[in-house]
Amino acid sequence: MQVLIVEDEALAVRKLRKAIEAVDPGLEVAGVADSIQSAVDWLRANPAPGLIFMDIELADGQSFEIFNRIEVHSPVIFVTSYDEFALKAFKVNSVDYLLKPIQKDELEAAIQKFRRSGQSGTPLPGIENLLRELQSQLQPREYRSRFLVRHAQKLVSVEVKDIAYFYSDGKMNFFKTFDSRRFVVDYLMDELEEMLDPRSYFRISRSAIVSAESIVKIDDYFGARLVLQLKPALEKEALVSREKVSGFKVWMGK
């Protein structure tokens, strides 16, 4: 059975091709497209492949645009860096997906699911609804850019970029700016976590959310935790809880 790979990273293409050949020798990679336009051109010039492996993010846009330009008559296994929450729709529409980096066992399971479905050469079911739902979920999310807080009998607007961290004393929640001003904030920590851009802020524990820019030093701490030195200094120890350590290390490495 012939397979089309739609992927704009040459290394990813080589790895996927090798993995496909190892997992299912019955699949032959008949073509590779590295953009929306080249995928459309290939599909117009060739018989519909039995299966398409399609990355979501391409150099010239999201691969969903391919379906707007041409009718696709092949089942698709999407390849993506998005997490499972954003991709739940795939499961209910009998479409599978692979998270990068692709694992051999997950690739094998996806191909087996495809073969069991018997969809070869048939239109992708519910593709219009699926694409609309996914596109709406994958739109860039807007995060809070400022907070309006009370200070000295007046309201003050504080830019989020000026906030070093948020913390709780068990009774009230506060944030402190990089110039050491402290304000009470009338939101729960769970609410604040949802409002803040996760690229810039990380919730290290139930009582603290820190900006990457505020972290001066990271040290090991007993109980498999980490302790942070923050600037400006926090009145109590800034501890990364044990269950947050793994995610914190990934976040700091981005």
| Segment 62-76, tens digit of pLDDT | 787 888 888 888 888
Q: Where are the domains of the chain?
A: 2-137, 146-252
Backbone φ and ψ of 223, nearest 5°: 80, 25
Could you give the angle at which helices 10-23 and 104-117 cross, rounded to 10 degrees?
Answer: 60
The mean per-residue pLDDT over the stretch 192-197 comes to 91
Q: Which fold has domain 2-137?
A: Rossmann fold (3.40.50)
Q: Spell out the SS3 assignment of 2-48.
A: EEEEECCCHHHHHHHHHHHHHHCCCCEEEEEECCHHHHHHHHHHCCC
* Tens digits of residue pLDDT in 113-133: 787 766 544 444 454 555 555
Cβ atoms of 226 and 218 closer than 8 Å: yes
CATH number of 146-252: 2.40.50.1020
Rounded Cα gap, residues 29 and 18, in angstroms: 10
Domains 2-137 and 146-252 alike in fold: no
**pTM above the 0.75 mark?**
no
* pLDDT computed for residue 124 by the predictor: 46
